[in-house]
Amino acid sequence: MDFDPQAMVARFRMRAQAVKERGLPPVEGPERQRFREQAQLDYMDFAMIGDAEATFEDGILTLRVDLRPH
């Protein structure tokens, strides 16, 4: 099976959307806040890779992510 970097980026884009749409579980207090904070980090990580320009040359995967403010 050949590696498709564009498909990988698309999967991360879908993961970011899934995190954004997932609801909070029925937990209270500090656990709820920890869950919310982790979801924010997961979304940020998945979204950054989902926005990346990916290349795969000579066995090296390069992800180029523009973090400049728009």
Residue 36 CB contacts under 8 Å (≥ 6 apart), including other chains:
24
Strand partners, 62: 55
Give the domain ranges of the chain: 5-64
Write down the pLDDT at residue 15.
97
Residue 54 to residue 60: CA distance in whole angstroms:
10
Write down the pLDDT at residue 70.
76
Write down the pLDDT at residue 45.
96
- Nearest Cα residue to 13 out of 57, 51, 70, 58: 51
One digit per residue, the tens of pLDDT, for the chain of length 70 reads 689 999 999 999 999 999 999 988 888 899 999 999 999 999 999 999 999 999 999 999 999 999 998 7
Write down the pLDDT at residue 2.
87
Residue 57 to residue 5: CA distance in whole angstroms:
10
- Nearest Cα residue to 45 out of 20, 70, 68, 62: 20
